[in-house]
Amino acid sequence: MPRYNPAQIEPKWQEYWARNKTFAAPQLPGAKKLYVLDMFPYPSGDGLHVGHPEGYTATDIICRFERMRGKSVMHPMGWDAFGLPAEQHAKKTGTPPRITTEKNIGTFRRQLQMLGFSYDWDREVATTDPDYFRWTQWIFLVLFDTWFDRELGRGRPISELPIPADVDASGGQAIRRYQDAHRLAYQSEAPVNWCPALGTVLSNEEVIGGLSERGSHPVVRIPLRQWMLRITAYADRLEQDLAELDWSDSIKTLQRNWIGRSTGAEVDFYIGHPDESPEGRPVAPAFKTWRNERAERGFAATPTSDAIRVFTTRPDTLFGATYMVIAPEHALVPRLTRPAQAAAVREYCERAARKSDLDRTELAKEKTGVFTGSFAVNPVTSRPIPIWIADYVLASYGTGAIMAVPAHDTRDFEFATAFELPIQPVVDPGDDAGVDRDAVLGGVAVFTGEGTSIHSGPYVSLSTADCKQQITDDLAKRGLARPAINYKLRDWLFSRQHFWGEPFPILHELDAAGKPTGLVRTVPPGELPVDLPELAVFETHGSPEPPLEHAPESWLYPVVDGRRYKRETNTMPQWAGSCWYYLRFLDPKNSRELVSRQIEHAWMPVDIYIGGAEHAVLHLLYARFWHKVLYDRGMVSTGEPFQKLVNQGMILGEMELTGYKQADGAWTSAAMVETDDDAQPKLKQTGEAVEAVRVGFDQVEKTGEAFVLKGHPTVRLDSRAYKMSKSRGNVVNPDNVVREYGADALRLYEMFMGPLEATKPWSMEGVNGVRGFLDRVWRMMTAERSERAELNPAVRDVEPTPEQNRVLHKTIHGVTQDLERMSFNTAIAKMMEFTNFYLKCDVRPKSAMQTLVLLLSPLAPHISEELWQLLGHQQTLAYEPWPAFDPAAVHEDEIEIPVQINGKLRARIRVPQGASPQVIEHHARNDERIAALLENQTIRKVVVVPGRMVNFVVG
């Protein structure tokens, strides 16, 4: 019996496509271009898992579909191949990372080719290839050569940076240092996230709750000289430009939250002491920065030691600011600390410095802090307020100092309560804010919402919004405040202490004694790439020392123009290569440029980008940032790289059944399972220990609706799907699926499971189900019981009957629409309906069969090509015109519409297509059943929606 044999068909067509370069994209597209991009994979040693082909199949369907509709399609694939696992493998086995990486790429390439994706393999790139990272290094040089012009809101060449007169007068070194302080790539001594277990520094994004994202190891903060990228300069544009993108709102929200724009004001609090009069203190105009990068952003510089600058989103609550808090790392800590408090402050700050982020987070419940002994002056009340130090204020956000308004901020309230500081309510929540108004007004509850000002001098009875505005305006006139915007986004820590990454094209200048001067020179673009040296030692030493420190002297200390330099030994993070790979695909062999200007202009932007939601923040933000810099520098033609973005949902493992066992080993009975009348059964808290146990399918019985444990008919089992993981043993390997069911079945199943963006559980029985569909399609067109596949005698060169034609064109229309809106599961369902119908026909017009093959071909290309050939064609169907929909074919003279009485379906009537409401109502009233039901009823209203339904409202 002909179950078709994918093991024969699929490799045959894969070879055909490769041999004929069927899917080679043109250098320059025709009139209608389409750039469809997958998030290229990290080629791990485990090979592909079934999550990869989900997105890849979706993009492949789009590409094949649009090629048939006449578009020039760019569909490349490559490898994000730098990364820690290959390096760790090297440490364990001594195998150089390049060898491991090449092997893994080989596996991934084989697996992807086995699935029949229509990539243009001639464009394959790997981030680890020197011909590739040469350009990654080149872009770093662009970043290094760019400063951000705040006036124009864009990046410009460093040569155009205006040099202040005093700097200019100080000469060459001063100018270089000034420029270095303004570059988009700069060095910083700021505290970094050092992970001893991984032996590397991590970006903020790679630290989750004080633990490393990879491996969950503790992370501590230590100061270290690092390369930073000034992504914060672009925060505003990265946020604003989201508006034009065709991305889901949830991803946009994710990015917005990450950028974390807050509007408010900066307010200066002059430092005074109760013994000193705050009056008559001169306004200090000269503001000195205490952190360069914040000054560069144009705000948040802390003024002289005469004042503490804070950022607040609620200037309206200024009258309620009863104390101030500065971060333990704040530059003013030493100056503000009075002798009496010195010991306590020193101890507190040292403890805070030792704490890892995890400790700080874990201890978040209990607020800690210490008084400095100093006071500041509240600029609106002129009263002195105490200045405290507490680690709930972050040095890295805003100005590293806050005004504390305990009545209207939860954290301040907790702190004030713990240290018995005064709580002064200044916002009346009103009666319907959903809070205990009396408690708020009495200063024993916190209210963070908006309301009406009270106890606020001249600002009483203003709304929160008006009050913000007026207080800010008034203080601005006195030079004590200004509107300000702050971002949660921090500058991007761009160096790693890894071997297996891109070396920086940077040389450190050495003085006569061989010590670094702090000045650098770049490796000229013509001398790129800076390749990795041969290196046998991959050990880390529990200190933040990069492996490249052990490189051969000749690599480490190059001599340029007779002068000895030391190479930068940090390497770039894994994100670097993936920030721009979409550009290189367009012109992968270009040895003179990153991408030819003409080619870039013709193909960009990426029209559709599909990948996992795990990259919603980091990769997409970084890539957009680099792209904007390249755009500012005139190297790319679009402001954004990815026009449309779709996140495929996660694929979970197969459903698992769980039972519950008591401590004594007995299974819990149904009596132990509490069922509240509506919800799921829950375990009753009886005080006895109960353990969840995975139940094998051989232990399961089904009675009626529920799964029960065999032999224990009262024990109900919970069914749930879990994330695929090695430890759980529920990982599905695509190789096995292809071997058993074929690539077409795997592709089809991945698309049939549900909407692309949904999280959904795997089911092998489901794969078997779609395989059954493919078998039916095969049988619909091929003869049974023949050695060689032959056309089924039912397939004849005849005109379709009107009914066959209607089904055919309904299918064309439905599938086309569904593919356009990426609703692949319903497109497949429509082709199943087609097949169910035509299998019942004794005569199957060849034209209809050919059309179905074309409709199916984007989803299941191998079987489609085979059937296409069987139907008498010599060439691939990849560029056959997409079937045209004929509306006339689906036209029906009569349509059936439902008739309701009081919204309940009571009958169906047949009316002529396009009948008027009057005619429809007439037909409805004349229907036997309806007439009977309407007898002796008062009809209050008749609603007729032409072509849809009729509703009689009676009673």
Partner RNA sequence: GGCCGGAUGGCGAAAUUGGCAGACGCACGGGACUUAAAAUCCCGUGGAGGGAAACCUCCGUGCGGGUUCGAUCCCCGCUCCGGCCACCA
Among positions 2-21, residues that touch RNA (CB under 7 A) are 3
Shortest Å distance, C-beta 658 to RNA: 13
Q: Which stretch binds RNA (CB under 7 A): 77-85, 355-363, 540-548, 796-804?
A: 355-363
Residue 250 binds RNA (CB under 7 A)? yes
d(CA 30, CA 404): 62
Could you say which of 68, 238, 327, 748 contacts RNA (CB under 7 A)?
327
Q: Which stretch binds RNA (CB under 7 A): 102-110, 625-633, 773-781, 841-849?
A: 773-781
Q: Which stretch binds RNA (CB under 7 A): 256-264, 472-480, 520-528, 886-894?
A: 256-264
Q: Which stretch binds RNA (CB under 7 A): 132-140, 389-397, 519-527, 791-799?
A: 389-397
Shortest Å distance, C-beta 332 to RNA: 14
Query: Is the separation of the CB atoms in 42 and 108 below 8 Å?
Result: no
Could you say which of 236, 718, 735, 775 contacts RNA (CB under 7 A)?
775
Name residues contacting RNA, limited to 486-505 (CB under 7 A). Answer: 486, 488
| Three-state SS letters, 380-422 | CCCCEEEEEECCCCCCCCCCCEEEECCCCCHHHHHHHHHHCCC
Q: Which stretch binds RNA (CB under 7 A): 69-77, 271-279, 570-578, 609-617?
A: 609-617
Residue 443 binds RNA (CB under 7 A)? no
Residue 51 binds RNA (CB under 7 A)? no
Owner of token pair 């229309």: 813
Q: Reduced to 3 states, what is the DSSP secondary structure of residue 560?
A: strand
Name residues contacting RNA, limited to 123-182 (CB under 7 A). Answer: none
Could you say which of 896, 935, 936, 938 contacts RNA (CB under 7 A)?
896
Shortest Å distance, C-beta 64 to RNA: 21
- The candidate with the shortest Cα–Cα distance to 408, out of 319, 308, 472, 482, is 319
The pair of three-digit structure tokens given for residue 140, joined into one six-digit string = 């770093």
Owner of token pair 């690539």: 743
Nearer to RNA, 758 or 843 (CB): 758
Residue 378 binds RNA (CB under 7 A)? no
In single-letter form, the type of residue at position 15 comes to E
Could you say which of 700, 759, 794, 810 contacts RNA (CB under 7 A)?
759
Residue 424 binds RNA (CB under 7 A)? no
Shortest Å distance, C-beta 673 to RNA: 15
Nearer to RNA, 13 or 492 (CB): 492
d(CA 716, CA 658): 9
Which residues, 6 or more positions from 410, have their beta carbon under 8 angstroms from its beta carbon?
446, 448
Residue 752 binds RNA (CB under 7 A)? yes
- The candidate with the shortest Cα–Cα distance to 530, out of 863, 838, 141, is 141
Could you say which of 7, 18, 342, 364 contacts RNA (CB under 7 A)?
364
Nearer to RNA, 637 or 900 (CB): 900
Could you say which of 216, 277, 361, 801 contacts RNA (CB under 7 A)?
361
Name residues contacting RNA, limited to 62-91 (CB under 7 A). Answer: none
Which residues, 6 or more positions from 182, have their beta carbon under 8 angstroms from its beta carbon?
147, 148, 158, 161, 296
Could you say which of 13, 392, 660, 741 contacts RNA (CB under 7 A)?
392
Nearer to RNA, 126 or 616 (CB): 616
Residue 770 binds RNA (CB under 7 A)? yes
Could you say which of 147, 311, 388, 580 contacts RNA (CB under 7 A)?
311
d(CA 927, CA 941): 18
Residue 245 binds RNA (CB under 7 A)? no
Nearer to RNA, 871 or 954 (CB): 954
Q: Which stretch binds RNA (CB under 7 A): 237-245, 455-463, 732-740, 897-905?
A: 897-905
Q: Which stretch binds RNA (CB under 7 A): 165-173, 375-383, 548-556, 902-910?
A: 902-910
Name residues contacting RNA, limited to 589-608 (CB under 7 A). Answer: none
Name residues contacting RNA, limited to 699-718 (CB under 7 A). Answer: 705, 707
Pairing of strands 718-720, 656-662: antiparallel
- The candidate with the shortest Cα–Cα distance to 660, out of 695, 687, 685, is 695
Residue 533 binds RNA (CB under 7 A)? no
Angle at CA of residue 29, ends 22 and 73, nearest 5°: 45
Which residues, 6 or more positions from 499, have their beta carbon under 8 angstroms from its beta carbon?
87, 90, 97, 532, 535, 538, 546, 547, 548, 571
Residue 600 is inside which H or E element, if any?
A: helix 597-603
Residue 349 is inside which H or E element, if any?
A: helix 342-354
Nearer to RNA, 631 or 762 (CB): 762
CA dihedral 293, 295, 300, 304 (to 10 degrees): 120
Name residues contacting RNA, limited to 177-236 (CB under 7 A). Answer: 204, 208-209
Could you say which of 18, 169, 363, 692 contacts RNA (CB under 7 A)?
363
Nearer to RNA, 583 or 897 (CB): 897
Query: Is the separation of the CB atoms in 325 and 348 below 8 Å?
Result: no
d(CA 817, CA 825): 12
Which residues, 6 or more positions from 810, have their beta carbon under 8 angstroms from its beta carbon?
830, 890
Name residues contacting RNA, limited to 621-680 (CB under 7 A). Answer: 655, 678-680
DSSP letter assigned to residue 138:
H
Shortest Å distance, C-beta 501 to RNA: 22
Nearer to RNA, 208 or 535 (CB): 208
Residue 367 binds RNA (CB under 7 A)? yes
Residue 902 binds RNA (CB under 7 A)? yes
Nearer to RNA, 634 or 704 (CB): 704
Pairing of strands 401-404, 651-652: unpaired
Shortest Å distance, C-beta 831 to RNA: 8
Could you say which of 734, 761, 861, 883 contacts RNA (CB under 7 A)?
761
Size of the site for RNA (CB under 7 A): 94
d(CA 341, CA 343): 6
Query: Is the separation of the CB atoms in 668 and 686 below 8 Å?
Result: no
Which residues, 6 or more positions from 704, have their beta carbon under 8 angstroms from its beta carbon?
none
Name residues contacting RNA, limited to 470-489 (CB under 7 A). Answer: 486, 488
Q: Which stretch binds RNA (CB under 7 A): 311-319, 379-387, 785-793, 877-885?
A: 311-319
Shortest Å distance, C-beta 907 to RNA: 8
Q: Which stretch binds RNA (CB under 7 A): 281-289, 499-507, 662-670, 891-899?
A: 891-899
Could you say which of 289, 452, 763, 847 contacts RNA (CB under 7 A)?
763
d(CA 670, CA 593): 71
Pairing of strands 72-74, 33-38: parallel
Residue 754 binds RNA (CB under 7 A)? yes
* Burial of 189: CB neighbours in 10 Å, binned 0-12, 13-18, 19+: exposed
- CA atoms lying within 13 Å on the CB side of residue 314: 24
- Neighbouring CB atoms inside 10 A of 250's CB total 12
* Burial of 106: CB neighbours in 10 Å, binned 0-12, 13-18, 19+: exposed
Residue 417 binds RNA (CB under 7 A)? no
Shortest Å distance, C-beta 486 to RNA: 6
- Neighbouring CB atoms inside 10 A of 499's CB total 27
What mask of x and - would describe binding to RNA in positions 809 to 848, judged by CB under 7 A?
A: --------------x-xx-xx--xx--x--xx--------
Residue 264 binds RNA (CB under 7 A)? yes
Name residues contacting RNA, limited to 906-925 (CB under 7 A). Answer: 906, 908
